[in-house]
Amino acid sequence: MSTSIVRHVRSLEGTRLEARIVRRTPMRYAAGADAAHDRPAYVRAASGLAWVGDRLAVIQDDASFVALVDPETGLAEAFPLPVGPGGARQFDDARGNKAGKLDLEALATVPSPHGVLLVAFGSGSLTPRETVVLIAFASHSSASVDLRAASAFYTLLRSASEFAGSEMNVEGALHAGDKLTLFGRGNGAIRGELQPVNASCDVSWPALRAYLEQPASVAPPIPSAITQYDLGGLDGVPLGFTDVALGRGSAILYAAAAEASPDATRDGEVCGSAVGVIDPHTPAGRWARLREASGSPFTGKIEGLTTDGRRPGRIFAVVDSDDHSKPSDLLEVQLSGPWWG
């Protein structure tokens, strides 16, 4: 299926913008490790971030848990997702089961009359990753988890080559009104005439919800309003979307990483990360390289971000170090300069 491109956005490095890490906290489970649930002692491979009350919900791309994290201490409560093959909830090369992970990479918050509904999307880079997980929090201490296979929906996304590019890798999601906007990371390998592309598309949330509830009888929504992005690069390595969040007004805040990946399923050398802003009503975006508190470039990969409504100019981000033996860090980042105008 071919869909005409609505617009093309180029994001440029903003010389007056700064994104600097002011605090770094490793995220660990308050209850420690739990072998019965195949849970490590810490949050690993953090990939998406959203507020649930006064805590931060963190999804992980190689561990089947949602963590509710206290942003002050980094201590987390774990909510297990359904087990994978062999009862596993941790997936990595050392175990030989990495291909079976859900690879949850995108997280959207949808208003609910009963609390908070989080919608987590698998990347779609492999068949087991064509899953949407609905996590409903009726209160701070209770959650229901509903995992839905969504192959027909991912097939439509993949067939929209202007969005999917050579290898689809869904990394961000935003909910506004009746629509979801999905963002794909352009870090795939070249496939014939298809190139990797950073892109976004809109889908109807009511139509997607209806499909997820009755996939045998309801068709999935068709992607529309496709936009492609040139995000620039760091040290000669292209930047690719790793998450998005609602900023001020109509602006969209995004995280991007410069990773020399051979394809959408394998890790590569990371040169650093950037934080950027896009206004849907303007043809250009702006970004700043993420820096340590000292001012030196941050050389890791941020894979999730969200704003901190309590403190203007402050955001939270989570780090995926691609090392399952280490806890993921929660970063507090100060944005300085004319980010919103």
DSSP 30: T
CA atoms within 13 A on the CB side of 225: 11
**So what's the pLDDT on residue 5?**
62
- Calculate what percentage of the chain has a pLDDT beyond 70: 96
Backbone angles phi, psi at 78, to 5 degrees: -100, 135
**So what's the pLDDT on residue 283?**
77
Least Cα distance to 221 among 234, 233, 205 occurs for 205
| Domain layout of the chain by residue ranges | 7-336
In which band, very low, low, confident or very high, does the pLDDT at 262 lie, cut at 50, 70 and 90? confident
**So what's the pLDDT on residue 255?**
98
In which band, very low, low, confident or very high, does the pLDDT at 16 lie, cut at 50, 70 and 90? very high
In the chain, how many H helices and how many E strands? 3, 23
Helix (H) or strand (E) holding 208: helix 205-213
**So what's the pLDDT on residue 309?**
82
In which band, very low, low, confident or very high, does the pLDDT at 266 lie, cut at 50, 70 and 90? confident
**So what's the pLDDT on residue 139?**
65
Pairing of strands 46-52, 224-230: unpaired
**pLDDT tens figures, 172-214:** 999 999 999 999 999 878 888 888 999 999 999 999 999 999 9
Mean pLDDT, the chain, integer: 92
Higher confidence at residue 324 or residue 150?
150
The whole-model pTM stands at 0.94
**pLDDT tens figures, 57-95:** 999 999 999 999 999 999 999 999 999 989 999 999 889
**pLDDT tens figures, 281-314:** 777 899 999 999 999 999 999 999 999 988 889 9
Range 271-278 average pLDDT: 96
**So what's the pLDDT on residue 49?**
96
> Of 173-182, 225-234, 256-265, where does mean pLDDT reach its minimum?
256-265
Q: Scan for tokens 């999905």, then name that residue.
A: 182
pLDDT over 70 (residue 257): yes
DSSP 61: S
**So what's the pLDDT on residue 267?**
75
DSSP-assigned beta bridge partners for residue 25: 330
CA atoms of 167 and 186, how far apart (whole Å): 8
Q: Scan for tokens 């175990």, then name that residue.
A: 95
Q: Which fold has domain 7-336?
A: Tachylectin-2; Chain A (2.115.10)
**So what's the pLDDT on residue 215?**
94
> Of 4-13, 167-176, 200-209, 326-335, where does mean pLDDT reach its minimum?
4-13
**So what's the pLDDT on residue 2?**
47
List of E strands, 81-230: 104-112, 115-122, 131-139, 142-149, 170-176, 179-184, 198-204, 224-230
- In single-letter form, the type of residue at position 133 comes to V
Radius of gyration in angstroms for the set of CA atoms belonging to the chain, rounded to a whole number:
18
**pLDDT tens figures, 107-120:** 999 988 878 899 99
**pLDDT tens figures, 39-62:** 999 999 999 999 999 999 999 999
